[in-house]
Amino acid sequence: MKLEQNIYPYYPELENLPVVLKGIGGSSWQSRIERDEGYMWHQILHCAGGKGMLEYEGKSVELPAGSFVFLPKDAPHKYYPLTDMWDLRWVAFDGRGCEETLALLGMDRILTAFNYDADEMEHLFDKMAGSLKTDVIYSGFTCSGLVYEYVLGFRRLITTEADKIKSRQLSVLMPALRYIYENYAEDISMAFLAGLSGITPQHMCRLFRSALNMRPNEYLLERRIEVAKKLLGENTFSVAETAEKCGFRDAGYFITVFRRKTGISPGAFRRKNAAEQ
Residue by residue, what is the 3-state secondary structure of 176-197?
A: HHHHHHHCCCCCCCHHHHHHHH
* pLDDT in the model for residue 277: 64
Proportion of the chain above pLDDT 90, given as a percent: 79
Interhelix angle 251-262/216-234, nearest 10 degrees: 90
Q: Is the pLDDT of residue 61 over 70?
A: yes
Average pLDDT over residues 159-167: 75
pTM: 0.61
Q: What is the mean pLDDT of residues 129-135?
A: 90
Residue 62 has pLDDT above 90, yes or no: yes
3-class secondary structure, 204: helix
First to last CA, the chain: 51
pLDDT for the residue 161: 62
Domains with residue ranges and CATH for the chain: 6-159 (2.60.120.280), 163-276 (1.10.10.60)
What average pLDDT does range 197-207 have in this prediction? Answer: 94
The set of residues, in sequence order, having a beta carbon less than 8 Å from that of 181 and lying 6+ positions away, is 223
pLDDT at 91: 98
pLDDT per residue over 72-96, tens digit each?
Answer: 999 999 999 999 999 999 999 999 9
Mean pLDDT over residues 29-34, rounded?
Answer: 96
Q: What's the whole-number mean pLDDT along residues 42-62?
A: 96
- Position 269 confidence tier, pLDDT thresholds 50, 70, 90: very high
**pLDDT above 80 for 184:** yes
- What is the pLDDT averaged over residues 212-219? 94
| Arithmetic mean of pLDDT, 246-265 | 95
Query: In 59-160, where does DSSP find H-type helix?
Result: 98-104, 119-134, 139-157
Q: How many CB atoms lie within 10 A of CB 41?
A: 20
Predicted pLDDT at 20: 95
Average pLDDT, the chain: 92
pLDDT of residue 133: 87
